Amino acid sequence: MKKTTKSTPSFFRQALNIASLTGLSGFLIFSPAIGISSSNKPLVKAAFTVEPPLPVSREIPAPSLTATGIYITDMESGVVLYDKNPHQRHKPASLTKIVTSLVALDYYNDDSILSVKNGQNSTGNTINLRKGDQIIADDMLFALLVPSGNDAAVTLAENYPGGYSAFVDKMNSKVLDMGLQDTHFVNVSGVESQNHYTSAYDIAMLAKSALKRPKFAQIVSTQKITLKSLKGNIYPLETTNILLGNPGIFGVKTGWTPEAGECLVILAEKDNHPVLISILNSKDRFGEAQKLFNWVYKNFSWE
């Protein structure tokens, strides 16, 4: 498998290492230094925390946008930088696959072998999987998230214990476990349905959770990759995110259907200050995401 990826932003180089070692995120706790004085009384230096710098607004107005749902958060402090109808329910289109990947990452090992059963019948974005082909789970996640393959989503679900419906149930239980009240799924790829929805806030929180996983962060920052199945079939993939490759953009996921409009979640970073931007029901997701990126780093300073 040949991969072309972007470098990992400093947020992951630091925060993920901390999380893996301590189980903590957002701050560090240093153990107190303990010594013995001449009077045999312990000398204890108080524990202290290193808190992330807080964003401070310069009161520059946000740009006027067509998107009806927007949520922007500072990744390190959790401060909300901007929102617009953050809890209004919208159709998520292929942003759904953020949660599809979370369930798959929880269950499959990287080298788990997945068989293509009915994925080849998928419509919309696909990588043209061949019926009966076999692909390891790690590669199938690339097929899911880089070109937004609906056939990859179906294949991940159909190889899950209990099959497709059990996989969707697990997606919804994950949402409930996170306490998110404005998200529900009925499929794994984002096909339009009345009972399939999310909000700008919810999908940002789901993306933030996913980005704590190094594998997910690596995949969504990948621009091009060529996969080879266990049967020798070749699948060249290219990202649907045209902003990926621009300075400071590290993913995350695109989505579009006629009813959902243009949807996008991006991880942005400048001067070591990462932010997460979610956009729902836009008429120009890439242009508006770029405007928000420019505005955030012009309007906010971190102190």
Q: What is the pLDDT of residue 47?
A: 56
Angle between helices 163-177 and 97-107 (to 10 degrees): 100
Residue 19: is its pLDDT beyond 80? Answer: no
Least confident among 2-6, 112-116, 166-170, 253-257 = 2-6
Q: Which tens digits make up the pLDDT trace of 232-280?
A: 999 999 999 999 999 999 999 999 999 999 999 999 999 999 999 999 9
- Whether 56 shows a pLDDT value over 50: the answer reads yes
pLDDT band, residue 12 (cuts 50/70/90): low
pLDDT for res 80: 98
Q: Is the pLDDT of residue 20 over 80?
A: no
Which pLDDT score, from 0 to 100, does residue 51 have? 84
Total-model pTM: 0.86
Over residues 170-178, mean pLDDT = 98
Do the beta carbons of residue 229 and residue 133 sit within 8 Å? yes
Residue 279: partners with Cβ closer than 8 Å, 6 or more residues away: 65, 67, 69, 70, 200, 262, 263, 264, 265, 285, 288, 289, 292
What's the whole-number average pLDDT of the chain? 88
Q: Which domains are seen in the chain, by residue range?
A: 2-302 (3.40.710.10)
Tell me the pLDDT tens digit for each residue of 179-206. Answer: 999 999 999 999 999 999 999 999 999 9
Look at strands 80-84 and 249-257 and give their pairing: unpaired
Taking CA atoms, 143 is separated from 149, 170, 189, in Å, by 6, 21, 12
The tokens for 93 are 């289109």
Q: How confident is the model at residue 9 (pLDDT cuts 50, 70, 90)?
A: low
CA distance 34 to 117: 61
What is the C-alpha separation between 188 and 180, in angstroms, rounded? Answer: 18
Q: Which two tokens stand for residue 107?
A: 């269950």
Model confidence over 117-149: pLDDT tens digits? 999 999 999 999 999 999 999 999 999 999 999
SS3 at position 256: strand
Rounded CA separation 154/165 (Å) = 11
